[in-house]
Amino acid sequence: MFAAFDDTDSTESMCTTFLATELVKALRVYDLIGLPRLVRLNPAVPWKTRGNGALCVRFGVGRGQGQMVGEIDGIPIYSYERMYEEADRTTVLETAERIVQKWSRTTEGASPGLVVSEGKPAQRLYWEAVRGIVEKEDTLRELQKIGADIVGWEGGRGIIGASAAMAWRPHDRTYEIITYRSPDRWGTPRHLEDGSVRDMDLKYTTTFNNYDHRTDRRAISPHTNCPVLFGVRGDDPTELMNAVFSLRSETPARWLMFLSNQGTDDHLISAEPTLPDRSYDFKATVAEAPRTIAGGHVIVPVSISTGRLEAAAYEPTKEFRELVRALRPGDRVRLFGELRAEPRTLNIEKMQVISTVIERQKVSNPRCPECGGSTKSMGSGGGYRCKKCGHRNELEAESVEVPRTIVPGWYEPPVCARRHLGKPLKRMRS
């Protein structure tokens, strides 16, 4: 039996993944079938609170060898690949309803949705929600087809995300172990040793987005008052567990491993940008030299087949802006990023420099071909006139090649400025 939910938290507090741990705890008469799923959806959706994440958990009576995938308040949690029997639908529905109702931040703007079903909705619900904007009516029609139970609070917008999470059939996947604090610590400073995060990042190479080695800052713990202590992401579940247990921190009250679409690039549409609030992967030619605007954002105008587009590396992308600033007209690039509506700008999340042009810098006007004297420019397109004999010429100014500071290759922003869904370059090579 699948139970999926979304839109339970506010920007201030809580975390939808914590509800998953509460649900797993409340339904511990059943086993987890597969891992709980943390599914990120379109990061450009204007009404998301933070990371646009939705959750789906499957319950049943497990069959075969169980794997320990978490611990909640001292209770080990096991997951099974196969099951003997489905969990009772009414039990799952009523328990999930009670948990979502109890923990949702409806007074702070949350619009929770809960979906319980034996079968999954069509896969397209996931792809549309991760790459586009979905209408709730469309989701409801699909849910009706599979006979799902649906509960919504305060408009129940979370039904869209919940259904998309349930509809996900991974073609690429990663894992995240999230640890949680005991409630008496919520809102207090988190104790987690940065040095242990740095060491973990270097040692466990299948984990990603943990630590910014340039600024010496960890990226695995949130800055809000939510129950999360930290979350570590990786490609290999066994190594991920070892990585997490190598960290030195306050003792987590719970931890749980999730299967996720984080770090997969599933949100990217392979096409030139058209509609806003979507993310694209496309090739372009740099049209003008980049410029820096107020706030330290770097803007680079690029040409695509439909015309011009302004692409931006925003201030939070830090040193990545230097790379974008190093682009020159004529460079060929492949850009990955979200098209914003207003101003209509592409927020660069990652780029591949395909080829660079030779950059030259003028050092002097040409010498006169008649007498060798120095020349004076006659203005744009007017050529040069010899200061000595008056002869006019159309020669090129003398220039030297300037070494380029950017070479063809792949570039990404630092760990702290990455999208949940963005595939880190580290994963692209694997």
By CB under 6 A, tell whether 129 contacts ligand ATP: yes
Give the interface size with ligand ATP as a residue count (CB under 6 A): 25
Cβ(140)–Cβ(134) below 8 Å: no
Tell me: does residue 261 bind ligand ATP (CB under 6 A).
no
158 contributes a contact to ligand ATP by CB under 6 A: yes
9 contacts ligand ATP (rule: CB under 6 A): yes
Token pair belonging to 200: 């973990």
Of residues 83-112, which lie at the interface with ligand ATP (CB under 6 A)?
110-111
Q: Cα–Cα distance between 164 and 5 in angstroms, integer? A: 10
Residue 207 touches ligand ATP, criterion: CB under 6 A: no
Q: Which amino acid is at 260?
A: S
| 21 touching ligand ATP, by CB under 6 A | no
Q: Is the peptide bond before 316 cis (omega within 30 degrees of 0)?
A: no
Per CB under 6 A, 121 contacts ligand ATP:
no
Joined together, the tokens standing for residue 359 give: 């950059």
Bridge partners, 377 (sequence order): 384
Collect all residues with Cβ–Cβ distance below 8 Å to 350 and sequence separation of at least 6: 336, 337, 410, 411, 412, 413, 422, 423, 425
**Measured from the CB of residue 264, what is the shortest distance to ligand ATP in angstroms?**
16
37 binds ligand ATP (CB under 6 A): no
Judged by CB under 6 A, does residue 155 bind ligand ATP? no
Query: Does 70 help bind ligand ATP (rule: CB under 6 A)?
Result: no
Please choose, out of 9-17, 56-64, 87-95, 303-311, the segment that lies near ligand ATP by the rule CB under 6 A.
Answer: 9-17
> Rounded to whole angstroms, what are the CA distances from 193 to 30, 230, 233?
36, 11, 18
Quick one: residue 379, left, alpha or beta (phi over 0 = left, psi -120 to 50 = alpha)? left
* Torsion of the alpha carbons at 371, 377, 379 and 382, rounded to the nearest 10: 20
In the bound state with ligand ATP, the residue whose beta carbon lies nearer, of 58 and 131, is: 131
157 binds ligand ATP (CB under 6 A): yes
Given a contact cutoff of 8 angstroms between Cβ atoms, the answer to whether 175 and 259 are in contact is yes
Position 221 contacts ligand ATP (CB under 6 A): no
Using the rule CB under 6 A, give the single segment among 154-162, 203-211, 243-251, 375-383 that binds ligand ATP. 154-162
- Please report whether residue 329 would count as binding ligand ATP according to CB under 6 A: no
CA distance 134 to 262: 20
Kindly state whether residue 262 participates in binding ligand ATP, applying the rule CB under 6 A.
Answer: no
Binds ligand ATP (CB under 6 A): choice among 20, 23, 41, 244: 41
Residue placing its CB nearer to ligand ATP in the complex, 406 or 415: 415
Separation CA 360–CA 337 (nearest Å): 30
Cβ at position 9, least distance to ligand ATP in Å: 5
Query: Binder to ligand ATP among 2, 16, 57, 95 (CB under 6 A)?
Result: 16
Compute the least distance from the CB of residue 381 to ligand ATP, in Å: 52
DSSP assignment letter at 249: B
Is there binding between residue 140 and ligand ATP (CB under 6 A)?
no
Q: How far is the CB of 148 from ligand ATP (least distance, A)?
A: 15
- Dihedral of the alpha carbons of 157, 163, 169, 173, in degrees to the nearest 10: 40
By CB under 6 A, residue 51 contacts ligand ATP = yes
Residue 125 or 326 with smaller CB distance to ligand ATP = 125
Options 161, 231, 273, 424; binder of ligand ATP; rule CB under 6 A? 161
Q: Contact at 8 Å (CB) between 118 and 58?
A: no
The full DSSP string for 180-243 is E--GGGTTSPP-B-HHHHHHHHHH-TTEES-EETTTTEE-SS-SSSSSEEEEEEES-HHHHHHH
What is the three-class DSSP state of 379? coil
Closer to ligand ATP by Cβ: residue 95 or 279: 279
**Using CB atoms, what's the residue nearest to ligand ATP?**
161
Residues that bind ligand ATP (CB under 6 A): 6-7, 9, 15-16, 41-42, 45, 47-53, 110-111, 129, 132-134, 157-158, 160-161
